[in-house]
Each structure stands twice: as structure tokens, then as C-alpha cells.
Structure 1
Amino acid sequence: MLNKKEGRIDWLSIQGTPFEVGQALGKKGKDAVHTLLVPSSDWAFITDKRHQKHVERLTKNTQDQFPTIWAELEGLAAGLDLPINDVFAWNCRGDLFALAPDGCTSVQVPGDTPVLGHNEDGYPFLKESCFIAEVAPVGQNEFWAFCYPGSIPGHTFALTQNRLAMTVNNLRLLGVEADLPRMVISRAVLQQSTLQDVLDLIQNNCNSAGFHFSLLDQITGAFKSVEFGAGQYHCHDLQTPGLHANHALHLDIAQRITDSSGDRQTRGDALLANGCFEALSILQDKHATGLPIYRDTPDDPDNENTLASVIFTLGPDGIDWMIYDQQSTTPVYTRHSQNGKTG
């Protein structure tokens, strides 16, 4: 059952070939990209010719190893009516610039009824331009994902038809010369049939910029935390409640930890240590002495606000999920996933 309340997060249903999926995503985000992103200094920097050789290497590796994702990117460019080189570079932004503005916080609460919560933090000016995509690509898994205009799915939060819930956090790793874009890897996660396939994919393709995944798998009941980037990979089972505020906790590599990232981690750890295990309360917390977990100020130092939140709950017969926008403490979407379908 899909229930929708008034909010600022649209819903887009797509089916077709990878190119057609990308084209539909591009058409959906075209106005926002041309109006808000293309004129921005970040777009100019990411698409600048200084990155050309790196982008060429990332392009070839994506074409060779993930041709269906490349076709989706070509469709995305067509739908956006922009050059494929620029659109692909934008989807490599974290690999080209370690300080790209992608924040986010994930809350992991294992137990008899495991809960995975996530704040998706991004550009404040995109608050009314993001959407949920319900995607049925020909010959591939169906999935549901929060999408930014101009970007392929998979690097925010998502649920697959194989009943895998995932949330993604940015890691600002320094000095990385990526072989594959991290957003291509995260998009490929949505194509995998099993949790083990997902873990193998990440471990075998981890020379990218950094991401953290929280993975909640209904099929096996596993709850995993995965960090990867710069050729490193770390995975562990979640046995106790935890929080991840977009910096690496287990990788041995130089990184940038912004004030917001550090403050959110400190505040989240303190809430958990004091026995607060209610994921939504943690995600909506604004009471830190430093910068808050829930981000809604126009002067955020990382130029990020909380655009949406999600709560995944694993029960005996499926995954329930609730999506919140920036306006309400009640969900704008609720859904139940069972036996490979959502109803």
C-alpha cells in the first residue's frame, strides 16, 4: 500500500530500457538542472576541462564494466538536453572533488525489529526539485530511490525488489585517483540479486571516492555497515545501535571531517549512549551544542540542508518504510515491501 500526503517530494514511475529510464529521469530534472545547477559554480568546476583526462578514464571503465549504467547516463543526458561529457562528470563529482556537498546521517538500530533511518542532506536550493523514482528497467531489478535532478539513482536511499534497503553517506577521502565513479558503483548495487552479490561488487570495485552504505537485508536478516574508497573496503555486522555522519570510521586514509560531520557524529553517539534508540527522534534532533543533526539553516557551513528522511523497519513479513519531507513530522509516503514486491 502506497499512501501519499501533501509534501514537496514528487513520485515518478518509470519502466523501459536503461536509456529510456535515464531519459525519463533527465526530463523530470531538466528544469531544475538548467535553472539551478548549470549556472552554479560547482557545476562549472566539475565540468571544467581540467578534469578531462580523469573523466576519460572513468568513462572508459564505466563503458567497459557497466554498459547498462552507461546507457542510462546517455539517456539522462538526452533527457536533460546536455552534453554527455558534462552529465557524466557531474555524476563523478565526488570522485573529482573530495569536498563536494553531500552530507547525510544514518541511524542503525539492530534488534528483534531492526530499524535503519537516514537524513538525506544536499543543496538547499534543490528542496523542491528532488523526487522518488519507482523504476522498472527491462531485464533488471525494480527499485525505489530518492533522486536528485541530474543524477542517476543509488547514492541516497533506496529499496530493491529483492528486499534490500540501503542508505548512502558521503566520505570526503583525500588524494583519491578513482578508477570507477562511486555513483556508478552505488547504482550497480541496485542491480544485484543478493546481499553477497552487493558486498562482492563493492569489494571488487572499491578504487573510487568514498561512500558508506548501511544495508538491511530482509532475505538473510543481515544488517551491514560498509565503508569503501581509495581501494579500501571495510564491512561489519551491526550488533549494537550506531550512527554514521558521513566520515570514515574504519578506513585508514586521510579525509576531511567538516564541523557539521563531526558535530553530528558526536551528538548522535551521545544520544545513543543515553539510551535514545528512536531513529526518527535522532534524525530530527536540533539540540546539539554545535551543528545539529537535522539541518535546515540557510547559513549551513557545508551548504547542505536535510531534504528528506526515511525510516526502514524490518518486520517478520517485509520492510515497512516511511519517507518524510522538510515540512512535516508525519510521513509523506508510507509503503510495505513483501515477497519482492511493494503493495
Structure 2
Amino acid sequence: MGSCSVDRERLEMFEVGPCKDAYEMGLLIGQRFSKLIRSRVAKDLILQNHLRPFALGHTPHSESLLKALFHANKTKFPTYWDELLGTAAGSGVPLLDILLINFRKEILAFIPKEGAKGPTVDTSDDCSDVVVVGESMAIVAHNEDANVALVGHTYLIKGILPDGLFFVGYTYAGELPSCAFGFNSHGLAFTLNSVPPAEDEIVAGGIGRNFISRDLLEAASMDDALSRIQGSEVSVGHSYNLIETKTRRIFNVETASRNRISIYEVHDENSMSRQKRASVLTKKSKGDFLSLLGDIDDKNYPIYMTGPLLHTLCTALIDLDEQTLSIIEGNPKKGAVSYVFSIAPQKSP
């Protein structure tokens, strides 16, 4: 079995629920992955060198920002907030650290770069996607790229809801499912990409992207997913590839602060990250696209990343015709598939 790095074990999946409430779901996740969450927090230099000092500095700037950010998200998404409270309690990690890693991109944008200790690079240019919709093929292939602190600190959550429906989310240790990719039993799936904001476009106290993507895991349809994205005023932007298996449709949605949003339906072979390199590679089959996402020939901006700061954690391949989501650990050129999920819509129990 392939792996994302030589020192990590196979990705673990935890099935949780139905639970009496969101706090219990978070509590059980925190307990199950306590060791992994503690390890992630201990190795996360972004948290240690930037987020935590900013929060504990107790300056008027930091206090007002965090108060507004926490209040807005707790008010709009109280159940997901309770999920984080449970995760903190279950893992034994201080709640502040859990909140900071979940809001890292919303907070980092406000931390002065001058005089900062340690590397300030977060995953601003993370993730590559290939999106193809044609007569012969409809796929999304996604490299999940992240800071080195996340290597070996991810897991899969299968959350079973009170009505018996479920979601599966690739999850960073200590964070809400999922800031990466996931799907649910309605046949709706998504992958996520970063949209680095200009400094003058950042809005303090907006809705965090982790909360929006957690909400997407419970969307019943493409229209419902679009409504959930549009209904949240974000602090910094994000890019969503929304996939609906029953209609064989893929939408790319890009958001920005002040309720700006762009929606594009993918109709043909396009939408390729790092297009310069991609344009010279053969692209005729799923294998070709996986080889593209495994390409390392551009030494400065490889598509498949192996450090020193950014690493490709895994690759997700969503096939709308086969109605499957496959997770590949290690370079996707080698095709070491660790999980294959059916993403066909399922009826309520």
C-alpha cells in the first residue's frame, strides 16, 4: 500500500454516529484521534509561532478580531461550534488551539509579517485540480496539498446523521470535516482550493471556510450547496468544485469577501491548475490525469509536492460515471489506491 510519506501509516477512517448532539460527535472524534491531534498541535509551527502568540498577546487588535470571528461563526453555525467544543474536550487539547487551527487562514491574514518568528508560509498556493466533463468522461482529480505539519495528521470521518444519512470527509487533525474534500449520501461531493486574498479585500469577523465546508457535507443537492455557500459572508475567499452524481454536473464556485461569488459550470476539458506544465502532457484517460497530478518535473512549482514546506498528502479521484471516489496515497502516477467509496445517491432509511 502506498503512503503519503515514508513515516506515516495508512489513512484511518472512523465511523461516528448517530449521536445525541454535535458535541458528542466532536467528543468521540476527539477521543479517537487524541494522539494524532496532540501531535499535530505540537508540530504545527504556524500555530506555535504565529497564531498562538497573536491570540495570547491580548492586544486590542487581536482581541477584537478573535471576538468578532468567534461570535460570527458560533452564531451562524452553533452545532458545528459545539462539534469543535467536543473535539477539544475529547482530545484534551486546549479549546483555543482547536479554534486557532480551524480559523488559521482567517487569522493569519491579520498578523503582521514584519518581525514574525519562523516561516510565515501557510498553504496559500495549495492543491491542484483537474476537472473534465465530456461525452466520454466526467471526473475530478484533486491533489490535497498542505503544510508539512499535516503530513501524517489526517484521517477520514464517516459521520452518520440522526436521519440515517451520512457524509465522509477527509479531515485535518483537530479540524472540522472537511477543509479538503468529501461527499455525502445525497450523491454530492466537493473538492476545495485556496484563493489567496489581496490584503485590502480581507474582512474581519467573517465566516470561516472550515465552517462552510462542514455545512456543505450536509447539502442535499447542487442548488442546496450553492445556497449554503452564498449564504455565508466569508472573511477570505475560497474555491469549491461541486459535484452532483445524479445530474452528472460539476460547478466551480469562487468566493471572496463582501459577498462576491463567481459560478461556472464545467462543460468540457479545461480547468487545470498549473496549466503551463499541464498543457504539454498527454491527457486522454484517467491514468493520464493522475500522471499529471503526479508530475514533479518543474522543480520550482511541481504539481506533486514533497516539501520542504508544502506536501501532497493524497490524491482524490471522483468519477461521476462510475459514481466512485478513490483516495490514492503516495504519487498518483503509481496508483496506490487505499479507499474506493460509492458516491451514488442513497435513499433515506
**Class of the TM-score when normalised by the shorter of the 2 chains:** 0.7 to 0.9
Q: Give ranges in structure 2 of 5+ residues lacking alignment.
A: 4-8, 110-120
Structure-1 residue corresponding to 2:335: 329
CA contact (8 A) 1:141 1:190 kept: no
Once residues 328 and 255 of structure 2 are traced to their aligned partners in structure 1, the CA distance between those partners, rounded to angstroms, is 28
Q: 2:103 aligns with which of 73, 92, 100?
A: 92
Aligned to 1:43: 47
Cα 1:174–1:5 shift into 2, 3 Å: closer
Q: Quick one: which amino acid aligns to residue 92 of structure 1?
A: F
The answer to whether the Cα contact below 8 Å between 1:20 and 1:75 also exists between their aligned partners in 2 is: yes
Residue of structure 2 equivalent to 1:107: 130
Q: Provide the rounded CA distance (Å) in 2 between the counterparts of 1:236 and 1:313.
A: 19
TM-score, scaled relative to structure 2: 0.82
Local SS of the residue matching 1:219: coil
Shift of 1:24: 2.5
* Residues 1:117 and 2:141 are matched in the alignment: yes
Instruction: Return the letter of the residue paired with 2:167.
Output: F
Q: Which amino acid aligns with 1:268?
A: A
Please identify, of 146-155 and 116-125, the stretch whose mean Cα deviation from structure 2 is larger: 116-125
* Kept in 2: contact 1:46–1:96 (CA 8 A): yes
Cα deviation, residue 125, structure 1: 4.2
Aligned partner (choices 184, 188, 197) of residue 215 of structure 2: 188
Q: Distance in 1 between matches of 2:343 and 2:227?
A: 25
Contact 1:119 1:310 (8 Å CA) reproduced: yes
The amino acid that maps onto 1:242 is N
Whether the 8 Å contact between 1:109 and 1:279 is mirrored in structure 2 is no
Q: Deviations over 1:10-40 (max 9, x none)?
A: 1111112311221222234422332342354
2:241 corresponds in structure 1 to: 214
1:228 is aligned, of 224, 237, 255, to 255
Match of 1:30 in 2: 34
Name the counterpart of 2:116: none
How far has the Cα of 1:166 moved from its partner?
0.5
- Equivalent residues in 2 for 1:231-242, closer than 5 Å: 231=258, 232-242=260-270
Whether the 8 Å CA contact 1:25–1:149 is kept in 2: the answer is no
SS in 2 for 1:75: helix
Residue aligning to 1:147: 171
Tell me the number of residue pairs that the alignment of Structure 1 and Structure 2 aligns: 314
Structure 2 CA distance for aligned equivalents of residues 289 and 181 of structure 1: 33
Query: Which residue is equivalent to 2:203?
Result: 177
For residue 20 of structure 1, the aligned residue among 20, 24, 35 is 24
CA distance in 1, matches of 2:314, 2:43: 24
Report the Cα distance in structure 1 between the residues aligned to 2:178 and 2:165, rounded to whole angstroms. Answer: 13
Which amino acid is 1:189 matched to? Answer: L
Letter of the 1:284 counterpart: G
Q: 2:64 aligns with which of 40, 50, 53?
A: 53
> How far apart are residue 339 of structure 1 and its match?
3.2
SS at match of 1:340: coil
Deviation at 1:5, TM superposition (A): 8.5
Structure 1 Cα separation of the partners of residues 163 and 88 of structure 2: 22
Q: State yes or no: 1:137 paired with 2:161.
A: yes
- Once residues 313 and 266 of structure 1 are traced to their aligned partners in structure 2, the CA distance between those partners, rounded to angstroms, is 25
Letter of the 1:22 partner, please give it. Answer: G
Secondary structure of residue in 2 paired with 1:95:
helix
The more displaced of 152-161 and 318-327 is 318-327
Partner of 1:255: none
* Distance in structure 2 (CA, Å) of the matches to 1:91 and 1:79: 16
Give the drift of 1:78: 1.1
Report the Cα distance in structure 1 between the residues aligned to 2:341 and 2:40, rounded to whole angstroms.
Answer: 31
1:191 & 1:140 partners in 2: Cα distance?
12
How many angstroms does 1:87 deviate by?
Answer: 1.4
**Is residue 2:290 matched to residue 1:280?**
yes
Structure 1 position 275, deviation (Å)? 6.1
1:260-307 C-alpha deviation (Å, 9 max, x unpaired): xxxx343234447x76773212211122364210112x43xxx11111
Partner of 2:112: none
Q: Secondary structure at the match of 1:305?
A: strand
User: AA paired with 2:104?
Assistant: R
Q: CA deviation at 1:241?
A: 2.1
1:269–1:140 CA distance, 2 compared to 1 (3 A): farther
Match of 1:202 among 196, 205, 229: 229
Distance 1:156 1:241 in 2: 23
